[in-house]
C-alpha cells in the first residue's frame, strides 16, 4: 500500500545525492528537516532556494551527536528517516579510514538507537507507520569479473542481486557493509521497520568534483589532464541521480519493511569508455577548436586522457540487477546515459567562464 509522506528527516542532505533528494521531497510538498555536518563534500548552496521555504529546515550536526539528533527527531516527528550521511570517497578511505569508521558505522548505530527509541514511543500514540531507510551502495558486494575473464570461471555471476553475499574491498565499502548489517540487525532484534537500497554509481548535477564524471568534465573545461586509473578497463554501472532519488521515494511509499532493493539503470561502461563519451559530448558543447584556453593547439579532448597508477584493491566490475524494484514497486529509470551526461555537462558549464554550443 502506498503511503503519503509528510515529515521527512534527511541526514546528509547537503551531499550530492542528498541535495537531489531534498529537491524531490520539497517538490512533493514534504516537511523536511536536513541534518548535515557540512563537511568538504557538502553543497549547501545547491539547496539555497529550498532552504528559503518555511517547510524546510537545516540543522548542522554530526549524526554521532546523540543529544542533538535526539532532540531534532523529537521536534520534527518524522514519518521516515533517510540516512544519506556517509563518507563516500574511496581514495580518501584508503588514505584515512578512521573518519569512515566513525561516520558510516558509529553514526549509523547512533541513528538506529535513537530511531528505535523514537519509533517505540511515537507509534504507540500514532496511527502512522514509521520507516528507517538506509542508503547503501553496490560496492558492499565486492566486485564481479570483467566479462572477458568470465570464461575462466566455474560459476559465472553476471550481476549483483539482493541475495549476493557481501564482500567489500575498500575501507569505504567495508564501513557501508557494516552499517547495512547493523540496520538489518536492528530490524530483526528490535523490530524497527527498515529498508535498504544498494545503488550503482550515481552521476548528475551537484556531484563533488573528486568523482569521475565531474572530474572529467572540469578537466576538459580547463584543458587539464584527465586521469584514468590503470588501463581504464574497470566497469561501473551508472544511474542518473534523479532516477535514484525517485527510486528511494518509491521504496519509502510502497516498499516492504525488512526488504533490500537494488537500484540500477543497466548502463555499464568501462571507465575509459565513459571518459571518452564525456569527451565526445563535451566537444558538441564546447568545440575544441574554439576553446578560449586552447593555446597549445590541442586537437581532441581525448588527447587530455592520462593513464595513472591503479588504485589499491580496485574493483573490476559492478553490475546491478534491478528487477526486484522494477517488478515489485514499478520503478524504472527514465534518463538515457547520453542525455544525462549532456545535462550534467550543462550544469557544470554554468559555473565556468567558457561558452557552450
- For the annotated catalytic residues, the residue numbers are 138-139, 172
H-helix or E-strand spanning residue 37: none
- Say which residues have a Cβ less than 8 Å from residue 190's Cβ, sequence separation at least 6: 116
**Residue 330, by phi and psi: left (phi above 0), alpha (psi -120 to 50) or beta?**
left
Q: Report the Cα 180 to chain-centroid distance in Å.
A: 15
- CA atoms of 301 and 282, how far apart (whole Å): 8
What are the φ and ψ backbone dihedral angles of 158, each rounded to 5 degrees? -85, -30
- Say which residues have a Cβ less than 8 Å from residue 56's Cβ, sequence separation at least 6: 22, 26, 31, 32, 34, 47, 50
Q: Report the Cα 223 to chain-centroid distance in Å.
A: 28
**Residue 239, by phi and psi: left (phi above 0), alpha (psi -120 to 50) or beta?**
beta
- Say which residues have a Cβ less than 8 Å from residue 176's Cβ, sequence separation at least 6: 86, 104, 136, 137, 139, 140, 168
The 3-class SS string of 336-353 reads CHHHHHHHHHHHHHCCCC
**Reduced to 3 states, what is the DSSP secondary structure of residue 170?**
coil
Bridge partners, residue 305, by sequence: 226
- CA atoms of 122 and 124, how far apart (whole Å): 5
DSSP secondary structure string, 81-120? EEE------HHHHHH-THHHIIIIIIIHHHHHHHHHHHHH
Check: CB of residue 255 under 8 Å from CB of residue 330: no
- Say which residues have a Cβ less than 8 Å from residue 16's Cβ, sequence separation at least 6: 41, 43, 202, 204, 206, 207, 208, 211, 241
Check: CB of residue 162 under 8 Å from CB of residue 262: yes
H-helix or E-strand spanning residue 355: none
Amino acid at each position: 500500500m502506498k503511503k503519503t509522506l509528510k515529515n521527512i528527516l534527511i541526514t546528509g542532505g547537503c551531499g550530492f545525492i542528498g541535495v537531489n533528494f531534498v529537491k524531490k521531497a520539497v517538490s512533493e510538498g514534504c516537511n523536511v528537516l536536513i541534518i548535515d555536518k557540512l563537511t568538504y563534500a557538502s553543497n549547501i548552496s545547491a539547496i539555497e532556494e529550498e532552504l528559503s521555504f518555511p517547510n524546510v529546515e537545516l540543522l548542522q550536526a554530526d549524526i554521532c551527536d546523540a543529544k542533538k539528533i535526539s532532540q531534532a527527531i523529537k521536534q520534527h516527528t518524522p514519518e521516515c528517516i533517510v540516512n544519506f550521511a556517509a563518507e563516500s570517497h574511496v581514495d580518501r578511505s584508503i588514505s584515512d579510514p578512521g573518519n569512515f569508521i566513525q561516520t558510516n558505522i558509529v553514526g549509523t548505530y547512533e541513528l538506529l538507537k535513537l530511531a528505535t527509541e523514537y519509533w517505540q514511543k511515537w507509534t504507540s500514540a500514532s496511527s502512522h507507520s514509521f520507516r528507517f531507510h538506509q542508503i547503501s551502495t553496490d560496492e558492499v558486494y565486492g566486485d564481479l569479473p570483467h566479462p572477458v575473464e568470465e570464461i575462466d570461471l566455474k560459476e559465472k555471476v553476471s550481476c549483483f542481486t539482493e541475495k549476493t553475499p557481501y564482500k567489500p574491498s575498500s575501507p569505504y565499502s567495508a564501513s557501508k557493509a557494516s552499517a547495512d548489517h547493523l540496520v538489518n540487525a536492528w530490524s530483526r532484534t528490535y523490530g524497527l521497520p527498515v529498508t535498504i537500497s544498494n545503488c550503482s554509481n550515481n552521476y548528475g548535477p551537484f556531484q563533488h568534483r573528486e568523482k569521475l564524471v565531474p572530474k572529467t568534465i572540469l578537466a576538459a573545461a580547463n584543458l587539464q589532464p584527465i586521469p584514468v586509473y590503470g588501463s581504464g578497463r574497470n566497469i561501473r554501472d551508472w544511474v542518473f541521480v534523479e532516477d535514484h532519488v525517485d527510486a528511494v521515494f518509491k521504496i519509502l511509499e510502497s516498499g516492504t519493511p525488512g526488504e533490500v532493493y537494488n537500484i540500477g539503470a543497466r548502463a555499464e561502461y568501462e571507465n575509459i569508455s565513459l571518459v571518452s563519451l564525456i569527451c565526445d559530448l563535451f566537444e558538441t558543447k564546447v568545440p575544441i577548436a574554439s576553446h578560449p584556453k586552447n593555446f597549445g593547439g590541442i586537437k581532441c579532448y581525448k588527447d587530455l586522457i592520462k593513464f595513472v597508477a591503479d588504485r589499491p584493491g580496485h574493483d573490476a566490475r559492478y553490475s546491478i540487477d534491478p528487477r526486484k524494484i522494477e517488478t515489485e514497486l514499478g520503478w524504472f529509470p527514465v534518463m538515457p546515459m547520453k542525455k544525462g551526461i549532456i545535462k550534467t555537462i550543462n550544469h557544470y558549464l554554468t559555473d565556468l567562464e567558457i561558452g557552450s554550443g
